[in-house]
Amino acid sequence: MNNDEALQLFERAGALLRGHFKLSSGLHSAEYLEKFRLVERPDLLEPMCEELARRFASAGVEIVLGPTTAGIILAYNVARILGVEARYAEQEAGERKLRRGQELRKGARVLVVDDILTTGGAVRECIEVVQRHGAVLVGVGVLGDRSGGAIDFGVHLEAVLEVKVEAFTQEECPMCREGMPINQPGTRGLAV
Ligand SMILES: [Zn+2]
């Protein structure tokens, strides 16, 4: 699956929103990736998980680890396709942990997966989980990378979709200049 095909899947799912958005960074943008439109569509998510699994098929992955919330669905699915086990990192007291008796064997080869790479916070927390357990991080796989290649985990990174989301300060935002109403993603009533 190439980047254009991945973009079509995002668009078909309605996961690539166009309008005028205030990002969590406070910056304004004309585009926003809403991961939950993807996880609502197993038919569109499946080929993307297959693509991630394909890219790590020869990496000797033993465990696929994903962060709550949507990362659980991805970790489960990619692990199922690779024929390996999955683990899920949950937040507890400001830290991400394996809970509910989940274990990670020392030396196990772990692939970390997540939905959309923005600042990389959740992926970094998963990498810390891998390191705390003495396991081996073999790579990071995401559905969408909107960081513009700015994030380096020090390990092989694969993104099914790479998209450069341009962001502006309020002062230099062209949509603000046109007087376009702004939406805060994660709330209801998004313009598309
Ligand atoms: Zn604006």
What would the two tokens of residue 123 be? 């992926």
Q: What distance in angstroms lies between residue 109's CA and the mean position of ligand 1's atoms?
A: 44
Model's pTM, two decimal places?
Answer: 0.89
Q: What distance in angstroms lies between residue 84's CA and the mean position of ligand 1's atoms?
A: 45
Q: What distance in angstroms lies between residue 175's CA and the mean position of ligand 1's atoms?
A: 5
Helix (H) / strand (E) containing 139? strand 136-145
In the chain, what are the domain boundaries?
3-177
Q: What distance in angstroms lies between residue 171's CA and the mean position of ligand 1's atoms?
A: 8
The set of residues, in sequence order, having a beta carbon less than 8 Å from that of 11 and lying 6+ positions away, is: none
Q: What are phi and psi of 93, to 5 degrees?
A: 50, 50
Q: What distance in angstroms lies between residue 148's CA and the mean position of ligand 1's atoms?
A: 20
In order along its 192 residues, the chain shows pLDDT tens digits of: 999 999 999 999 999 998 999 987 889 999 888 889 999 999 999 999 999 999 999 999 999 999 999 999 999 999 999 999 999 999 998 889 999 999 999 999 999 999 999 888 999 999 999 999 999 999 999 999 988 888 999 999 999 999 888 889 999 999 999 999 998 775 544 433
Q: Does domain 3-177 have CATH number 3.40.50.2020?
A: yes
CB atoms within 10 A of CB 138: 20
Q: What distance in angstroms lies between residue 25's CA and the mean position of ligand 1's atoms?
A: 13
